[in-house]
Structure 1
Amino acid sequence: MANNRSFIVRLHGLGDSGPANEPIKSLFTSPEFKNTTWSFPSAPSNSVTCNNGAVMPSWFDVHELPVTANSPKDESGVLKAVQTVHAIIDKEIAAGTDPNNVFVCGFSQGGALTLASVLLYPKSLGGGAVFGGFVPFSSSMVEKISPNAKRTPILWSHGMADTTVLFEAGQVGPPFLAHVGVSCEFKAYPDLDHSISNEELRYLESWIKTYLGGTSPVICIGL
């Protein structure tokens, strides 16, 4: 039955590809993930401002590096990318999976897309996890967040040594979510740069399991 299986969609970061990230599958070894199906989509190629307009795989435009708490935001591009993620989730829910067993997770640009995708989804999901990410839209977007979406918990992890998406960009996440009314657990990693560690992934695995409730999740991971 659909409710007894998990479905993980991994959304890669800027300039990356989906297939290049398939090794992450080997890190999710708990029995709860034995029936997991993985999908590794690749972003469309777009001109990216922070890389002098070079065309590369990108879910939306990034205007500057490093990303700071006040960096410009490509809200229209983010909303377009959110539609892609929502379509993936919708397809699985239509097949019978409980939306409460849907988890969206992502790193860097994928973390920002994770946040937007979870907050703008019309239903409550199991959870969202942001790694080295940032808030990709302004406070004006808050009015589009449904009461159901506000019940989705967020895990936010950020490396304090990150020089690509600065730690300050991650620090604004929890107060933003508190203002929205969304529960957020924030974890800082003192020596971590702009990468995701096995320690973070192990914690992610245990964090997801705390929300499973006896059934397997649908998980979207963007690294």
Structure 2
Amino acid sequence: MSQALETVVNETGADPQWSVIWLHGLGADGHDFAPIVPELVREHWPAIRFVFPHAPVQPITINNGLPMRAWYDIVGMDFRSRADSAGVAASVQLLDGLIEAEIARGVPVERILLAGFSQGGAVVLSSALRRRWPVAGLIALSTYLPDAEAAAASAAAEGPLPPVFMAHGQKDPVIPQDVAVHSAKALKELGFPVEWHSYFMVHQVCAEEIQALGDWLDARFR
């Protein structure tokens, strides 16, 4: 994978001192969640730079090798092994580059939030276990932690633990809610403060979820 990702950037004000790096899901691109900004942002919040990167294009095994934007290959249906671990690791490195770019722009790491939907959320949660970056928080939407047991066993033992906002659809046919619940439990056992939300929806985002995420972010910005 290339280390230079194209991004969609939306700044809510001049000289932002907060950044949200938001990774999309399989087959989408950085434009997918850009429209959420005006629905999510509140008037009293500080200026924020939203960064929506485009994942590299690669063939996806489970889709008969069809090339599409993806953070990693999906090699099967079993959630314990479906995510290509090398691909996840490569995308974690790409996320590192995005974080470093925001720090270079003058945003302190403790004012950077990492968000992801589905595949993007899996990368965000995988990244968090290394505890390399003391970020302000993690947003994991309709997603899970790939191979939760192995990931938890290999998690870095030291470093700050950011708060986590997790939300999922009760009727999600792509990632069953039970898989996400299992991931949330694994994160809690590692000491992550997880705020869990469940909605009567499929593999999507709903208005009630955006409201709850806004409340959670509001606490981060105080």
Note the C-alpha offset of 1:71. Answer: 4.6
- Whether 1:10 and 2:10 are equivalent positions in the alignment is no
Alignment match, 1:200: 209
Which residue identity lines up with residue 178 of structure 1 in the other structure?
K
Q: Distance in 1 between matches of 2:124 and 2:50?
A: 17
Q: Distance in 2 between matches of 1:10 and 1:55?
A: 22
TM normalised by structure 2 equals 0.84
TM normalised by structure 1 equals 0.83
- Whether 1:39 and 2:48 are equivalent positions in the alignment is no
Alignment of 1:141-180 (within 5 A): 141-142=151-152, 143-149=154-160, 151-180=161-190
Which among 106, 122, 129 is matched to residue 112 of structure 1? Answer: 122
**Deviation per residue, 1:202-221 (Å, 9 max, x gap):** 211210121223xxxxxxxx
Q: Following TM superposition, where does structure 1 have runs of at least 4 consecutive aligned residues deviating by more than 6 angstroms?
A: none
Q: Which runs of 5+ in 2 are unaligned?
A: 1-13
Q: Larger helix proportion, structure 1 or 2? A: 1
Note the C-alpha offset of 1:96. Answer: 3.1
Q: Distance in 1 between matches of 2:202 and 2:166?
A: 15
Secondary structure of 2:145's aligned partner: coil
Alignment match, 1:97: 107
Q: Distance in 1 between matches of 2:203 and 2:43?
A: 30
Note the C-alpha offset of 1:69. Answer: 4.6
Aligned residues: 208
Which residue identity lines up with residue 41 of structure 2 in the other structure?
T
Verify the 8 A CA contact 2:136 2:163 in the aligned structure 1.
Answer: yes
Q: Distance in 2 between matches of 1:154 and 1:83?
A: 20
Q: Distance in 1 between matches of 2:202 and 2:94?
A: 29
Q: Distance in 2 between matches of 1:3 and 1:25?
A: 17
After superposition, the CA RMSD in angstroms is 2.2
Alignment match, 1:220: none
